[in-house]
Amino acid sequence: MIKFLIKGLLRDRSRSLFPVLTVSAGVFLTVLLHAWISGTRSNMLEHNAHFDTGHVKVMTRAYAQESAQLPNDLALLGVDSLIDVLQLEKPEWNWTPRIRFGGLLDIPDENDETRAQGPVMGLAVDLDKASPERNLLNLKQALVQGRLPEQRDEILISDHFSRELNVRPGDTATLISSTMYGAMAIHNFKIAGTVNFGIAAMDRGAIVADLLDVQYALDMQDAAGEILGFSPDDVYHHQQALSFTHRFNERFKDSGDEFAPIMLALSQQNGLEGMLNMVNTMSTTMVIIFVTVMSLVLWNAGLIGSIRRYGEIGVRLAIGEDKSHLYNTMIAESLAIGVTGSVLGTVLGLLAAWPMQELGIDFSSAMQNSTMMLSSRMHAQIMPMTFVIGLIPGLLATLFGASLAGIGIYKRETYQLFKELEV
């Protein structure tokens, strides 16, 4: 019987070719969209974590409420001792202090008069070679001109901003900002190099400076606006991060001090929890839509096939084949079609997703005014789940479609068979 069914599928293209092509098309789109959504999600998490939120972030309570305004007057004090405490809690994690600041960058001419100036968003990090910050910010790959800072009072400036100000590596730039205590801060820096992060929010007007230099310039000795924590594998683990933040915050929940530290996970910052939920919902909705649409198409194909096979079904019932057995063989046929179509669609989907993962798609023209920490070049990401996600719509749709179409078998009556066979 199995040999008979296989021959029937191979010889009758209407029973196999069209359903296989339908399943392959649906699985192809499912795999491709899953890889794209996974890449978008990873891009969003990675860039937000590396440039802004960390996997967890420690701030004062007052700073956390006004973090969008970069309130360094509400910064953490005793940063070194606090990092020691955090390292005792999670020694395998990377803990790094940062200062985010705003100001005006003034470019002097040969007479020390203002030649050009513009507003900047500054990021102060530990630029020591042993620090993880160089890798987190991807500074080597982002470098366009010059070199990375090696000496005191050297900074990196976004390449786009450097062209607007008409400056190059080696030029002097004066930062005009405010200290931790509200006084005016004026400090000279030397431009060591220019960078392009591929993130519109950073490339419009950002500077990157060493933490010690900015602490001195802004009168923030042993102080920082925030301390970021990164997991050992540099992957955001949602439940682990939430559990850690809960334990940490329990220590200070009864404190009325607005300068008491508070820890927030990545998903608790910048509205990222809602965005992550939206991405997960999109993935689930995508699979449901393809399962439903493909099931309807395959159901119709099954009904048409049943009509064409009316005589075959009648003969098999007339010679004594049980209705349940006949129904089960049709289900088995559909599963064979589902597996074949799923494998073919998955292979095609992976082949289409691979260049999108390696090369990406440039969205820079659509993200020029974006304030989100997203790369302007989006990449797909092939994950282990991408290899099997196509089996869900591929098998469920064929199984569901065949189940509906095959119900008609139980409506056949024996007394009608001979009349049908005479025809």
Give one DSSP letter per residue of 108-137, joined into a string.
E-TTSSEEEEEEEEEEEE---TTSTHHHHT
Task: For residue 194, name the pLDDT band (cuts at 50, 70, 90).
Answer: very high
The sign one gets for the Cα dihedral 34, 36, 38, 44 is negative
Q: Please report the pLDDT score of residue 332 as a whole number.
A: 78
In angstroms, rounded to a whole number, what is the distance separating the alpha carbons of residues 61 and 75? 10
Residue 185 banded pLDDT, cuts 50, 70, 90: very high
Amino acid 189: pLDDT: 94
Residues 6 or more apart from 190 whose CB is under 8 A from it? Answer: 153, 154, 155, 170, 171, 172, 173
Share of the chain above pLDDT 90, in %: 26
Confidence of residue 389 (pLDDT cuts 50, 70, 90): confident
Band of residue 376 on the pLDDT scale cut at 50, 70, 90:
low
pLDDT for res 93: 93
pLDDT digits (tens, 9 = 90+) for 320-346: 666 677 777 777 777 877 788 888 889
Instruction: State the Cα–Cα distance between residues 51 and 259, nearest whole angstrom.
Output: 24
Quickly count: other Cβ atoms within 10 Å of residue 115's Cβ.
Answer: 15
Residue 187 exposed, middle or buried by CB count within 10 Å (0-12, 13-18, 19+)? middle
CA distance 368 to 391: 39
At 175, give phi and psi (nearest 5°): -90, 125
**pLDDT-based confidence at residue 383 (cuts at 50, 70, 90):** confident
Highest mean pLDDT among 64-68, 113-117, 220-224, 374-378: 220-224
- State the pLDDT confidence band at 57, using cuts at 50, 70 and 90: very high
Angle of CA points 230, 234, 237, to nearest 5°:
80
Output DSSP code: residue 53.
Answer: I
Q: Is the model more confident about 408 or about 138? A: 138
Whether residue 249 contacts residue 80, with contact meaning beta carbons closer than 8 Å, is answered with: no
Q: Which whole number is the average pLDDT over 57-74? A: 89
Interval 263-273 mean pLDDT = 84
What letter would DSSP give residue 370? Answer: -
Give the three-class secondary structure for 261.
Answer: strand
**Would you say residue 154 has pLDDT above 90?**
yes
pLDDT tens, position by position, 96-136: 999 999 899 999 888 878 888 889 989 999 988 788 888 88
pTM metric for this prediction: 0.76
> Of all helices (H) and strands (E), which one includes residue 230?
strand 226-230
Q: What is the pLDDT of residue 412?
A: 59
Maximum mean pLDDT: which of 5-14, 128-137, 169-178, 281-290: 169-178
